[in-house]
A and B are shown apart, each in its own frame.
Chain A
Amino acid sequence: MSTATEAHGKAIGVPHVRVEGRDKVTGAARYAGEVPFPDLAHGWLVLSTVARGRVRFIDTAPVLGMPGVLAVLHHGNALPVDISWVDPQLGPPDATLGVFQQDLVPYAGWPVALVVAETSEQAREAAEALKVDYDQEAHDVALSYDHPGVYPLVGPLRPATEEKGDLAAELAASDVVVDAEYATGQGHHNPMEPHAVTARWEGDRLEVLDSNQGSPFVANALAQTFSLEPTAVRVRTEHVGGAFGSKSQARTHHVAAAMAARILDRPVRVVLTRRQMFSLTGYRSATIQRIRLGANPEGKLRAVEHRSLCQTSTTYEYVEASTMMTRMMYDADAHHTANLAVRLDVPTPGFMRAPGEAPGSFALECAMDELAEKCGIDPIELRLRNEPERGPISGREYSARNVVACFREGARRFGWAERDPRPGVRREGRWLLGTGTAAATYPMHVMPSSASVTANADATFTVRIAASDLGTGARTALTLAAADALEVAPERVRVEIGDTAFGFAMVAAASAGTRSWVFAIRKAVAQLREQLSQGAAVPPEGVTVMANTFAEAGALHHDDKERHTYGAQFAEVAVDPATGEVRVRRMLGMFAVGQIINPLTARSQFIGGMTWGISMALHEEAALDEATGSLVGADFAGYHISAHADVPAIEADWVDDPDPGDPVGIKGIGEIGNVGAAAAIANAVWHATGVRQRQLPIRPDRVLLATPGA
């Protein structure tokens, strides 16, 4: 039977509109909070208004007397839950899952109560009326290298620090040195669909309708937390209104809804407000990054140092591992990287689109641009001169590394050759114009998954896998990949996703979802075709084969290759030095990402990531009020994301990226569009103005203050 790499059919590589597209453009697609339930009750969370302390008293009596109010859950009356478990992939849960288990308040916006009422209006009014008294303690929320608690925090998969060579000696021997500090703002995922969950118990079975990136992960967390058999929890997620990492795991609202549904013995829905999402769903920590590069006059690196500081909470360790890209991108005789963290009285940060690489690429790729300037070398040429043979730290070979092809093709299309390298020389009316570039990369992962394929008696096929489509186009991509594996037209394949009844599957995260799911589907298809090839007719109930890649994925995960995707980002900006306004005029991204399944939706994903780059470069930054230890302006008016008017024509395309050693051939594309995009924009701002902007977002006030004589 055919194996995965041989399964090239007709559907992959041809643009296909999304299989659920019609439902999405007509409003028929139902998201988690939109499915009617008889006897539904509405829960509204109450969050702490102090950043550290204890709940002294919750005055529930007046609220319980308000119209429609059914219950007020808090630490004095909550069901006991267990959070001492450890998830094999994600590790121990954040203490936030221990909903209402203690009176301790570890940060502002910590859940202290859930008010449940017959209608959402009643629940909201009662939640706002609930009086909570605190014993307040002094809080500590300021991120700084001077904080005594700064420590090297072990990131996912890799050590906190990596050091080779004598950094001081190589820097001292370098003809050209860049030594700069870069900072990125605190980012919030803000998917358009707020987190929503409906929980219902049938005896000791828990049914959950959810908006998440991986139902199996949410189900496992709920089963463990409520001490249930894994099979006693069923979680379903059909359409997901964006996630970007924020819906990758069980959170407060899941546990609160399940607890309330248990106590009231009726279905309970909890939908977060936009403001609540800022403290309950993770975020990207601000980073302060120091980079030192040493090079010879030709730009060949001798020394690389990258240290990045982020914050985490007192309840959980999460590190924004911003130096990971540096470890595999450029080599030098001395190569030191460190991911540092400090525990503060703040909500726990978490994975957010291109975690680590997004802020890390900003610092690294801006520093490379500064080095190019100091050496008097074109920034692309500088990168070509520093292409490594092997992983700088790992010493491993690259399975495929086509970043040079991305730069060459991108430069040709962008018109890079005509660029005047001098900064501050192009003007058009009130605008100064500049262009910039940056490299992009993101690691490839593949994770164990299981899938089933059914040959139906009517000559159609049904694929079932607990995948999630967050808007990535996964449902469509899996349809096309399954069709090609089956060697049938996609119209004959139906893919069902999001249901834990389909078995375990990789969470839609880390650009590894589609890659992992296709791996499992192809294996199931191969086994099905072998079974069908024996010639028996398909019975009325169909023929179903279930397969998993637990062994194969594990082997690939631990092999001896550096496996990554690559890209080259280009941006042109206009800067008004009189007002500090920055506008992106055009962008181009060229990517080396293996085989593209659906060019229509792949283009959308790359451009979406690049749009995130604009947003990160120019707009996104949560404002912390140090006095209260909480955010100010935590909504879409106070926390800006790019709007239509900020986003110009963006072109995204890909180069050939053969990777014969890879058994899947399909690589992830969810993050890489975001990597390097902000650096390309920041480098273009320098080219326009002659002034380096090392702090994101590049707000008008920062441009104005940095521009002499403006």
Chain B
Amino acid sequence: MAPETSSAVTLNINGEKYTLSVDHRTTLLDALRERLDLTGAKKGCDQGQCGACTVLLDGRRAVSCLQLAVAAEGREITTIEGLAEGDRLHPVQQAFLDLDGYQCGYCTPGQICSAVAVIEEHAAGWPSAVTDDVRPEAGPAPLSAEEIRERMSGNLCRCGAYVAIVEAVGQAAATAADRIGTEEVTAV
């Protein structure tokens, strides 16, 4: 018997529940953009090769173009639309705005969602490909510009706004560290 090719799903997005019927082929990205009018996540390549569609799934960054909507049921989804608190921008958004960490703006929601996660991943002690010594005994490496660049590399920007993006992520991370008061952060 041919299987059902669509399902009713309930998606938990930015703290709200949305119930809809999805073609199983529908990615989370297309569900957000074409069904739920949440167009902040962008479609740059639709193949996991650019990062413009980055959202947070259960607090971790992911590319929504390779995430089937039907398989996202039960997960906590945060998009760019869910970062600000009312009129108050998230510190990462504010830093991008102040330091001109974007040009055309199309990769920007993905860069910002990714940056939010990068700061948290680093604070949680995650190493990266440019961390000299990944052994736990070595302790966490400071969030240098080199570390930010490596960790943000899954977000392509064709306008060439990388320099200002790295400055913005560094500034937002420093703000976050000030708030927490425990994290060592190197100014960029």
Contacts and interface: CB of A to CB of B under 8 A. Distances in A.
Interface of A: 17-18, 20-31, 33-34, 36, 119-121, 125, 189-194, 239-244, 271, 273-274, 470-473, 600-601, 603-605, 607-612, 615, 635-637, 641-645, 647, 649-650
A641 B156 contact: yes
A570 B25 CA distance: 49
B102 A24 contact: yes
Contacts of A24: 102, 105, 108
Given A239-B105, A241-B105, A192 B42 contact: yes
A636 B65 CA distance: 14
A243 to B, nearest CB: 8
A610 B43 CA distance: 26
23 contacts: A17-B100, A20-B105, A24-B105, A25-B112, A26-B81, A26-B83, A36-B37, A121-B26, A192-B159, A193-B44, A241-B42, A274-B49, A471-B159, A604-B159, A608-B161, A611-B160, A611-B162, A611-B163, A635-B45, A636-B47, A644-B165, A644-B166, A647-B160
Contact of A27 (B109, B152, B156, B162): B109
B87 to A, nearest CB: 9
B79 interface: yes
Contacts of B38: 27
A360 B93 CA distance: 39
Contacts of A125: 25
B103 A473 contact: yes
B60 interface: no
A645 B156 CA distance: 10
Contacts of A274: 44-47, 49-50
Contacts of A25: 89, 93-94, 96-97, 102, 105, 108-109, 112
A33 B37 CA distance: 11
A22 B150 CA distance: 27
B41 interface: yes
B160 A119 contact: no
Interface string B112-124: 1000000000000
Nearest to B80: A27
A635 B104 CA distance: 20
A242 B161 CA distance: 12
B107 A192 contact: yes
Contact of B103 (A26, A31, A33, A608): A608
A645 B149 contact: yes
A191 B104 contact: yes
A632 to B, nearest CB: 15
Given A20-B105, A191-B106, A608-B103, 20 more contacts: A22-B89, A23-B105, A26-B93, A27-B41, A36-B37, A192-B104, A240-B104, A241-B106, A242-B103, A242-B158, A274-B47, A274-B50, A607-B160, A636-B156, A644-B152, A644-B153, A644-B157, A644-B162, A647-B160, A647-B162
A661 B20 CA distance: 64
B4 to A, nearest CB: 14
B164 interface: yes
A513 B38 CA distance: 32
Interface in B13-37: 23, 25-26, 30, 33-34, 37
Nearest to B79: A27
B42 A636 contact: no
B155 to A, nearest CB: 7
B52 interface: yes
Contacts of A20: 105
A470 B105 CA distance: 9
A675 B177 CA distance: 40
Which one of B107, B161, B162 has the highest number of Cβ atoms from chain A below 10 Å of its Cβ?
Answer: B162
Nearest to B129: A645
Given A25-B89, A644-B162, A605 B103 contact: yes
A610 B33 CA distance: 33
Contacts of B153: 643-645
Nearest to A125: B25
Given A22-B97, A241-B106, A641-B158, A194 B43 contact: yes
B154 to A, nearest CB: 8
B145 interface: yes
B24 to A, nearest CB: 9
Nearest to B81: A27
B137 interface: no
A584 to B, nearest CB: 12
Contacts of A239: 104-105
A342 to B, nearest CB: 29
A600 B104 CA distance: 14
A17 B23 contact: no
Which one of A191, A242, A600, A649 has the highest number of Cβ atoms from chain B below 10 Å of its Cβ?
Answer: A242
Contacts of A243: 104
A281 B41 CA distance: 24
B39 A30 contact: yes
